[in-house]
Structure 1
Amino acid sequence: MSSSLQKILNNINGGSAPVELQGLAGSSKALVVSMLSKISGQSPGETAPVVVVCESFDIAEVLLHDIYYYFGREGVYFFPFWDVLPYDNFSPHKGLTAQRFQTLDALLNQQARILITTPNALMQCFLPRNDFLKNTITLTNEFVGSPDEIGKQLLNSGYIQVDVVEELGEFSTHGGILDVFPLNLEKPVRIEFSENSKAHFLKPFDIQTQHTDQTELSSLKILPAGEILFNQENIDFARKSLPEYRKECAPEVLLRLRQSLQKKEGFPGIESLSPLFYPELETLFDYFPDELILIIDEEKNVNKRADSFYQEVFMEYEISTQQNKLTLSPESLFLTHRELQTKLTKHVSLVLNSMKINNTKARTVHQLQFVDNKSLRNQFESAKATSAAGYMVQLLQKWQSSGTPVLLSAKNQTHADGFQQLLDDLGVESTAAGDQLTTNRCPWLDWLEKNDTENTSGSIPILTGKVSSGFRKLDSNGKALFVLLTEEEVFGEKTRNRRLQRAQVHQTAGNLDDLREGDHVVHLDYGIGRYHGLQKISAGGNQNEFMQLVFARDEKVYVPVENIHLVQKYVNADGTTPKLSKLGEKAWKKTRSKVAKTVENIAEELADI
């Protein structure tokens, strides 16, 4: 079925029957999502958010940045899954938790226009809306109180008290001054109180210099700092829940958890025990408003990923139980893949597929002709052109002379100016659009439907912004009706990568023959530990071999032998015994970042010689 894209999008809403668009390629999916959100935003009443489910984090991130290009950043959010495995001995990165919580806050306050997520994240259970709202703190410059009073609220909301604030989720008090680094801000904020306990000012400040900005804030929202909140209500619930698990783990495990509750302190990986702290967990579906437009990107891949993820959860569950840890059931922490598919089927409004497939589901299917530009440059030989760049110039001139809407895109204004100069030298008339024609304000629908070619005839506009790729819209005979090309698609990639990639680590890492029990080793992600030999662990019906590494506080990590490239024998020139790394703490990450930066600086100096 073929129809105008504008008509198709106009008829999609939260209550309509599902529609499937096939034949999308390049960044055209992001453009469709952006246009749909703009169209739904023109309707009277509250704007329903557009929620897009992508199969993986990487694909979601590409789509997210492409949507920034077509739609802008305002109202666009990403809700990722954790960067750690289920039942792992590690907590998710604070920056990732911040991204998740900012998205939840936007949903609860009807500020989300477009939301990108993955099946893993949708299946996950976490703190309920009521707890999230109760532990969100709002202050104004009219606030009357004391730093200690706010400090107690911050502790209940998951913030950690330190001497000097350096990281997200930290706060400190010094006399009449309170510093806090909220998860929803890029800079920490200093609150200074006057003698009558009134907030004198709220100002962002620089971590390095400790100097406050000139700009004062009239109000400050502070989101919760963690997925486990050690307030009295949650602690009391956890204490009542613990006796149920006496038979499921070693006594020392329960003792450690009781001590954490007593001190109101978490430990790495405590997030996998969230059902102990909340009577009932919720999922992202519970945070969604009643009206939404749900889009599934590559439905078959999303369902397949949900299935494999739930199998992965079960395998991690079996490994965790064999390690005698307190391990809660997968059903208490995640939706099953079948439960997810049921919810997606109930809410879905639009399915996007790059391929044309035969679908037996009862839905309207529209066939589109959007193709990517990956193979364009490689066609120069069959076209008997002298070079790929020369062939692309010929195509641009052909499209330009025929009145086909053509747009070019450069990463920034400097690139756009260079792009224009090069094209002019090759006989292609182009214009760097600059601020006169920004990507989020372009009449994309008019151009795609070829209702308005005024801005695309004659000189070819060069837009500025980062987009993963362009695309072409074709007619049934393969003729281009609309073209968007990036500078890389015209003149080829120009990459200069000095960073050490994980794949390269294979070539430099040691092997098991070099290791003896008791040797100190360095794990790329976890830091310095001791090698305690090999251990066979059964999981998912298979028996696999793991390296047992022991870190500070006698915490153990089991590394599959196929990941030996992540582990190297520790070598110290002076022969002193190294200090073992503490899992989940910042010290190793800071050391690794500092070394990586030093290596990169040296590489840059060598490259300049």
Structure 2
Amino acid sequence: MTESDNLIFQTLMPLKTAVEEKKNCSVFGLSFGEKSLFLCSQKRQILFVTENLAEANKLAKELECFGKKVKTIFYKQSEFLLASLSFGQNVANMFSSLQALCKSSVDCLIVTPEVLMQKFPSKKQFFDLIISIKKGKTYNQKQLIQNLTNAGYHRTDLAQNVGDFSVRGDIVDVFNITDDLPTRIEFFDDEIESLYHYSSDDFKRLESVEKIDICPLVIFNVENKSQLFSEVEKDFSQTLKTLPANEAVLLKSAFEEFRVNFDAGNFSYVQNWLAPFMPNTNITSFLNQDAIVVFDDVKRVFDVVSSEYKKFDEQISSLINSGNALLKHKDFYISQNKVFNIDFQLLSFQSITSSNRVFDPQVVLSFRSTAQTNYFGNYNLLLEDVKYYLEFKNTVIIFAGTKNESAYLSKFLLQNKIENKIASLSEVVPNGVYIIPKDVAYGGIFVEDRVVVIGTEELVKKSTKQIVSSQKREEFTLPKIGDYVVHESFGIGLCVAIQKLKFTEYEKDYVVLQYAGGDKLYLPTEQIGQISAYVAGEGTPK
């Protein structure tokens, strides 16, 4: 049993059971902390799809607290013309993530919805492009040069920038995209005699390394050059017939530029013209067979993908008509009707009761959650909450991070007559306050279990400076049916009902807010502080 297993309380057992039975689930009402703690407990690989980059970064931090290996891809190819790839951080993350997935060293891959549209090779095809160099092993130097070219590296006089390599006698220098420094490979005949990093400023030798895996800079491996070129040439001829004279001249010029670079093996420069000719294989081809695909706010994921396809259709039609792209460029991405054809167990987290347009769930679960307080080092505020939790016989688990912070917090609580214990998770028993000297970024309030988990980030993270109005917010009571209100996360909604509902074994009062398109949010009355009155003059808000 791992530490994260100790944080799966009775509240989440229905979800745990459904996932273990490999049923597709739609889940409503979990807070971020509850979602993240549940995902931390999973032994299977996770693909987490979210449009919210702030939550993506928070989840990565939470998973890493439990020793999980996390990778991210927030990049989608959106350049359709001939061009060299710009090696920004998102591009580097994409290639390093693909390499890590090939080596099965990823517990969770976090991606944005647009990544699902992107065409990818199979895991084996990308793995074959990875160049592994080990000191003392044999490797033909000419073959290495060819493999670097096939992998998208650019031969220069000096390898000073990411993606460059150079050759001088028995020395090959290469700047691997996953490294901070270039690497020098020294040969003795076909043996790797020496392998070390060096400074790109003064070329001074730095630390020696035993092995380097050179990550590819191209998505696709060009295996049959003549066949692929024939396919591109055929589509070029068909596109040419549809264009007026001036636009045809532009396309002929672009095709000649493609041909020259293709013949030279500069595949990183022409990959935007090669992508349309590749199979409809998406990022899930890199996952383990028993992986779970998780959609965070599945409605938002669907809407983002639909919007991106609409923009793409308009943009690519314009490029084709102006002689800058081929007819085949319409197949640049995965077919829209296949983008959500995912052959894995699927799990969606949802806040608003709307239809799941990505998949049909076999199990639908609803939970109730309570907003978590961020203390930001304000121990007096923490003290008030701990007293409140203990009054209602809750167990309070506080992740304080370090031993020193744990000791300080324990002393503070004791001075204020709050008994507590510095302990490990396995020592926690019902009732009482437990301080854990470990980093777990975010917690949650498990109402049915009477357990409160406070994460390290919520406890000690310093808040950013904010401008606060000197006027106190007027106390807001329950809205009336027909009133417009503003939710702090979801914006302006219309109150259409206040009613008792039973989503779990407990019946409670909910404020029902309706949004554009008919989506509804069921807000527990104890979370009424998340909404305020809509004040913007007369009439209906737009």
Q: TM-score, normalised by structure 1?
A: 0.62
Matching of residue 156 in structure 1 with residue 150 in structure 2: yes
* Distance apart, 1:25 and its partner CA: 1.1
Letter of the structure 2 residue corresponding to residue 65 of structure 1: K
Determine whether 1:216 maps to 2:201: no
Change in Cα spacing, 1:3 to 1:16, as seen in structure 2 (3 Å) is same
Task: Report how far residue 106 of structure 1 moved.
Answer: 3.6
Gap change, CA 1:8 and 1:29, over 3 Å in 2: closer
The residue number in structure 1 matching 2:525 is: none
Q: Say whether 1:140 aligns with 2:134.
A: yes
**Could you tell me which residue of structure 1 aligns to residue 259 of structure 2?**
258
* Counterpart-to-counterpart distance in 2, 1:267 and 1:109: 23
Q: Residues 147, 267 of structure 1: CA spacing in aligned structure 2 closer, same or farther, 3 A cutoff?
A: closer
Indicate conservation of the 8 Å contact 1:314/1:330, yes or no: no
Code of the aligned partner of 2:436: P
Show the counterpart of 2:306. Answer: 307
CA, structure 1 residues 243+302, in 2 after alignment: closer, same or farther (shift >3 Å)? same
Distance 2:435 2:312 in 1: 51
Does structure 2 conserve the Cα–Cα contact (< 8 Å) formed by 1:373 and 1:489?
Answer: no
Name 1:448's counterpart in structure 2: none
Query: In structure 1, which of residues 8, 21, 38 is the aligned counterpart of residue 15 of structure 2?
Result: 8
Equivalent-residue separation in structure 2 for 1:165 and 1:281 (angstroms): 35
Closer/same/farther in 2, CA of residues 92 and 80 from structure 1, 3 Å limit: farther
- 1:186: Cα distance to partner? 4.4
Q: Which residue of 1 aligns with 2:91?
A: 97
CA contact (8 A) 2:116 2:282 kept: yes
Deviations 1:114-153 (A, max 9, x none): 2222331112113444542332222322323454442222
Instruction: Indicate conservation of the 8 Å contact 2:36/2:62, yes or no.
Output: yes
- In the alignment, the residues of structure 1 paired with residue 356 and residue 315 of structure 2 have an alpha-carbon distance, to the nearest angstrom, of 35
Residues 378-393 of structure 1 mapped to structure 2, 5 A cutoff: 390-393=380-383
Compared CA separation, residues 135 and 453, structure 1 to 2 (3 A)? closer
Q: Which segments of 5 or more consecutive residues in structure 2 lack a partner in the other structure?
A: 1-8, 468-542
After TM superposition, give the deviation of residue 480 of structure 1 in Å.
Answer: 5.0
CA distance in 2, matches of 1:78, 1:432: 37
In terms of mean alpha carbon deviation, does 291-300 or 83-92 score higher? 83-92
Give the 3-state SS of the residue equivalent to 2:290 in structure 1.
coil
The Cα shift of 1:252 comes to 1.6
Determine the structure 2 residue equivalent to 1:474.
447
2:416 aligned with 1:405 = no
Return closer, same or farther for 1:336/1:429 CA change in 2, 3 Å cut-off.
farther
Report the CA distance shift for 1:260/1:88 in structure 2 as closer, same or farther (over 3 A): closer
Question: Quick one: which of 66, 72, 87 aligns to 2:67?
Answer: 72
Where structure 1 has 5 or more consecutive residues not aligned to the other structure, the ranges are 38-47, 378-387, 444-451, 498-609
Work out whether 1:484 is the aligned partner of 2:478: no
Q: How many residues align?
A: 447
- Whether 2:310 is the aligned partner of 1:297: answer no
User: Are 2:395 and 1:395 equivalent residues in the alignment?
Assistant: no
Alpha-carbon separation, structure 1, partners of 2:411 and 2:77: 43
Where 1:55 maps in the other structure, the secondary structure is coil
Distance 1:203 1:461 in 2: 42
Q: How does 1:44-443 map to 2 (within 5 A)?
A: 48-55=44-51, 57=53, 59-69=55-65, 71-74=66-69, 76-82=70-76, 84=78, 91=85, 93=87, 95-145=89-139, 147-194=141-188, 196-208=189-201, 210-217=203-210, 219-227=211-219, 233-234=224-225, 237-238=228-229, 240-246=231-237, 247=240, 249=248, 250=250, 251-265=252-266, 270-275=270-275, 280=279, 282-329=281-328, 331-341=330-340, 343-344=341-342, 347-355=344-352, 363-373=362-372, 390-399=380-389, 404-409=394-399, 413=402, 416=405, 420=409, 423=412, 427=416
User: Partners in 1 of 2:33 and 2:348 — Cα distance?
Assistant: 16
Question: How much has 1:399 moved relative to structure 2?
Answer: 3.1
Q: 1:9 to 1:243 in 2, by over 3 A?
A: same
Q: Measure how far apart 1:159 and its partner are.
A: 0.9
1:431 touches 1:462 (CA, 8 Å); kept in 2?
no
Cα-to-partner distance string for 1:520-574 (whole Å, 9 max, x where unaligned): xxxxxxxxxxxxxxxxxxxxxxxxxxxxxxxxxxxxxxxxxxxxxxxxxxxxxxx
Task: Give the whole-Å Cα distance in 1 for the aligned partners of 2:82 and 2:404.
Answer: 44
Are the aligned partners of 2:159 and 2:175 in contact in 1 as well (CA < 8 Å)? yes
- Residue 509 of structure 1 is matched in structure 2 by none
1:461 is aligned to 2:436: yes
Residue 29 of structure 2: aligned partner: 23
Which range moves more in the overlay, 28-37 or 321-330?
Answer: 321-330
CA distances 1:405-462 after superposition (whole Å, capped 9, x unpaired) = 334456x7599479749956984879997xx96xxxx56xxxxxxxx63498445335
Q: CA deviation at 1:31?
A: 1.5
2:266 alignment partner AA = E
Give the counterpart letter for 1:310 in structure 2: Y
Shift in Å, 1:94: 5.0
**Partner amino acid for 1:347?**
F
Identity of aligned residues (%): 16
Q: How far did 1:310 drift?
A: 1.0
Amino acid paired to 2:15: I
Distance 1:234 1:131, change over 3 A: farther
Amino acid paired to 1:183 = I
Distance 1:88 1:419 in 2: 60
Change (3 A) 1:243 1:418: farther
Aligned mates of 2:14, 2:283 — CA distance in 1: 31
Deviation at 1:3, TM superposition (A): 6.1
Secondary structure in structure 2 of the residue aligned to 1:203: strand
| Displacement after TM superposition at 1:490 (Å) | 7.2
What is the aligned-residue RMSD (CA, Å)?
4.2
After superposition, give the CA deviation of every residue in 1:179-199 in whole Å (9 maximum; x if it has no partner): 2233344443322223x4421
The 1-side partners of 2:411 and 2:203 are apart by 46
SS of 2:116 mapped into structure 1: helix
* Distance in 2 (alpha carbons) for counterparts of 1:210 and 1:456: 62
- AA in 2 matched with 1:114: C
Letter in 2 for 1:472: I
1:201 to partner: Cα distance:
2.4
Q: Corresponding residue for 2:483?
A: none
In the alignment, which residue of structure 1 is the partner of 2:487?
none
- State the distance in 1 between where 2:266 and 2:326 align: 19
In structure 2, the CA distance between the partners of 1:91 and 1:61, relative to structure 1 (3 Å rule), is: farther
Name the CA distance, whole Å, in 1 between partners of 2:170 and 2:432: 64
Letter in 2 for 1:395: D
